[in-house]
Structures are given as C-alpha cells and as structure tokens.
C-alpha cells in the first residue's frame, strides 16, 4: 500500500488558481470514487475540504473544487488567498480495505 503521489510544492499569487494533483493506481484512485482532500495548517489537525472526489462539506468555500480522471485526482483552489497557504493531502480508499494518504503538497501564496 504505497502513498499516493503529490507534488511537494505548488505556489501562486493572490487571486490566481492553482491545481494540486494526486496520482495513484487502479487499486485506489482509479478503482473507486472515494477521494478526499485535507488542508492542514502548521500545528493544527487536518480539515476535510473535499470528499467523494468533488463534494464540499458544509462551510467549505466554493473556491475549492475536486475532480478525477483515471488514476489521478486533482484539487483546484481558485481566487487564491493568503489563508489558503497550508499543506494539502489527498486520500483514497484502496483495495486493501483501508485508506491511503498522499505524500502532501505545500501551497505557498506569493
């Protein structure tokens, strides 16, 4: 059960859009529509931002959106704001019967 692959870092200027990719296999992302995304600020617990590939929990800004194509899921943040600077993790259900996290991406707002 290997971790899903994410870019180590992504950056953008305020107001821009950025996309974070999360690549897995047919045994996880490609095989199920159970992909979640989490935001984690330093020293804090993760916060659920997206579930079931593209659904936002109540209270999460509509600037955050998710999608999936084949074995790769993506999180897009539009209208980037300073408060979006954080680490982001994807997670998928896997054929092993449990979840698997991505390697994590540090988002920097320039």
Partner 1 sequence: QLQLQESGPGLVKPSETLSLTCTVSGASISTTNYHWGWIRQPPGKGLAWIGSIYYSGSTYYNPSLKSRVTISVDTSKNQFSLKLSSVTAADTAVYYCARLDRNTAMVSADYWGRGTLVTVSS
The reply to whether 34 sits near partner 1 by the rule CB under 8 A is yes
Q: Does 88 bind partner 1 (CB under 8 A)?
A: no
Integer Cα distance of 53 and 45 in angstroms: 21
- Does residue number 64 form part of the binding site for partner 1 (CB under 8 A)? no
* CB closer to partner 1 out of 15 and 101: 101
Using the rule CB under 8 A, is 35 a contact of partner 1? yes
Please identify, using beta-carbon distances, which residue of 82 and 107 lies nearer to partner 1.
Answer: 107
**Residue 38 has which token pair?**
């989490």
Residue 106 CA, distance from chain mean position: 11
Q: Is 93 in the site for partner 1 (CB under 8 A)?
A: yes
Among 13, 45, 82, 110, binds partner 1 (CB under 8 A): 45
Length of the chain: 110
Q: Are 67 and 55 in contact (CB under 8 A)?
A: no
Question: Which residues have a Cβ under 8 Å from the Cβ of 91 and sit 6 or more positions away?
Answer: 4, 35, 36, 37, 38, 99, 100, 101, 102
- Binding stretches for partner 1 (CB under 8 A): 1, 3, 32, 34-36, 38, 40, 45-48, 51-52, 57, 89, 91-93, 96-104
């Amino acid at each position: 059960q290997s971790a899903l692959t994410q870019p180590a870092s992504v950056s953008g200027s305020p107001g821009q859009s950025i996309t974070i990719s999360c690549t897995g296999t047919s045994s996880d992302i490609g095989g199920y529509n159970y992909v979640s995304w989490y935001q984690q600020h330093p020293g804090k617990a993760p916060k659920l931002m997206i579930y079931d590939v593209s659904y936002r929990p109540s209270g999460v800004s509509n600037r955050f959106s998710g999608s999936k194509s084949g074995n790769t899921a993506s999180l897009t943040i539009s209208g980037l704001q300073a408060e979006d600077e954080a680490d982001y993790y994807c997670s998928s259900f896997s054929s092993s019967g449990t979840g698997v996290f991505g390697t994590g991406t540090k988002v920097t707002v320039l």
